A and B are shown apart, each in its own frame.
Chain A
Amino acid sequence: MKPTAFEYHRPSSLNEALEMLSSLDDAKLLAGGQSLGPMLNFRYVMPENVIDINRVPEIKGIHFESNGAVRIGAMTRQYEIEKDEQFNQQLPIFREALRWVGHYATRNRGTLGGSLTHLDPAAELPGLCALLDAELVIKSQNNERTVSIHDWAVSFMQANIEENELLSEIIIHPWTVSHGFSFLEMSRRHGDFAIAGVACLLSLDDKDCISKTAVSLIGVANGAVRLKNAESLLLGERFSMDLAESAAQVIDGLDAPADAHHSGDFRKRTAKTLFKRALKQAYDNAIEGRTR
């Protein structure tokens, strides 16, 4: 399983990378290589040009802004996000979810930007970005635009990005209010693509009612989905398994495609089971956080 021949380009600056993207035909960006590598080796893709952005410094690193925003360079490796203590303090759900993202060695190379542009429907990181209303900064040689994560997926594994554009960074505003979190995923084996996965953030008011919540779902639809309908049902309510059960029903309304290995119904059913469990865990986590 060897790739077809391609021309290899390695820009050493963002400007160089953008210039190449504009001028080269039939070019693919090589980031972590954990998705593109297999596709090249299988000859599923046979680009004329490959642009290796691993040595573009401007799109790496995690920056904490004074306004509370966290800016993550698209080429930040998944393990870097996992290990960053300051990041984990503010966004602990990432470390929890990253346990499920591929495997140790793939996280050493795989990037946040790569996961977001590849847009596998079962990918965890797009789910977390949806949970947190992330904003994506897209650059081209002559332009820069910011896209909300909710406008990022155009269709199945197709992101809102042109051939001459590059995802340069992701901006996340962590919740400042005290909250609990949970991330649950079901896969056949550890590290496999999720059958379904649920990410949840939940805050409680002083009456123990849900004052703020965000729930996103992966693996079921054509990409990560924020369950806004479920969130509305939860707001203002006191947590109970019955509440969780009734909020979970919104999942039935989703379009869940089947594939050779799982039916859509099974994915939805799994998602509902996980939804209830994730909500409970986030709730317990929120209570625990308050008593600390």
Chain B
Amino acid sequence: MSTKHSIALTINGQRYSGDVEARLTLADFLRHHCDLTGTHVGCEHGVCGACTVHVDGRAARSCTMYAVQADGSEIKTVEGLASDEGNSLHPVQEAFREFNGLQCGFCTPGMQMTIAAYLEENPNPSEQEIRELISGNICRCTGYQGIVKAGLRAAERLREEQS
């Protein structure tokens, strides 16, 4: 059995710690050690995007990172998207509901996290930019149309909030 590593990190503003094997993926650490099952595992080879979380402010696949690497980092998961302890949905989440951007919901956390991160750096995306953005996230249910509309609407809402 290989060495265990002590790690401590912040997830959705809360402190978490654990003793983990190096090979434990960040996705599995979130899901099974922190009971944050909102982050989903769809492929474990970095293609489907279902596992996307924010690592130190940037969207990243949690299946191709190991929990040890996240020692000292700030992680945000879908459970941390809404503010005010879940009472106030993030504009991305509201837009997903409004525009039917989900059906089975499995790709949804990864999709929302990807879009939320992107909108922080590009507040006024075109439809083509949104499609290129989410080309790194596979959805098998919606055909993407509702998700694209949700992305554009979320961008609009966020711009309104800023002004």
Q: Which of B9-30 contact A (CB under 8 A)?
A: 21-23, 25, 28
Interface: A63 (CB within 8 A): no
Docked complex Cα distance between A284 and B44 (Å): 43
List residues of chain B with CB within 8 A of the CB of A38.
44-46, 64
Q: B28, B46, B69: which contacts A106 (Cβ < 8 A)? A: B46
With the chains together, A261 CA to B68 CA distance in Å? 36
Interchain CB contact under 8 A, B132 and A99 = yes
Q: Give the contact-size bracket for chain A.
A: 20 to 34
Interface centre among A41, A99, A191 (most CB of B within 10 A): A41
C-alpha spacing A40/B58, complex, angstroms: 23
- With beta carbons under 8 angstroms apart, the residue of B25, B60, B69, B136 that contacts A191 is B136
Q: Does A103 contact B (CB under 8 A)?
A: yes
Known: A34-B46, A41-B44, A42-B45. A105 touches B60 (CB 8 A): yes
Q: Is B144 in contact with chain A by the CB < 8 A criterion?
A: no
Contacts of B49 in A (CB 8 A): 103, 105
Report the interface size class on chain B.
Answer: 20 to 34
In the complex, what residues of B have CB within 8 A of residue A42's CB?
45
Contact (A37, B135) CB under 8 Å given A104-B59, A105-B114: no
Main secondary structure of the interface of B (DSSP, over half): mixed
Distance of A54 from chain B, by nearest CB (Å): 6
Contact A7 B63, beta carbon cutoff 8 Å: no
B151 to chain A, nearest CB (A): 12
Question: Can you list 12 A-B pairs, Cβ within 8 angstroms, ordered by A?
Answer: A2-B23, A2-B25, A5-B1, A5-B2, A8-B68, A37-B61, A40-B23, A41-B63, A52-B69, A99-B132, A105-B52, A106-B46
| Chain B residues engaging chain A, CB cutoff 8 angstroms | 1-3, 5, 21-23, 25, 28, 44-46, 49, 52, 55, 58-61, 63-66, 68-69, 114, 118, 131-133, 135-136
Given A2-B25, A108-B55, 12 new contacts (CB under 8 A):
A6-B2, A6-B22, A7-B22, A8-B68, A10-B68, A38-B46, A99-B132, A105-B49, A105-B59, A105-B60, A108-B59, A108-B60
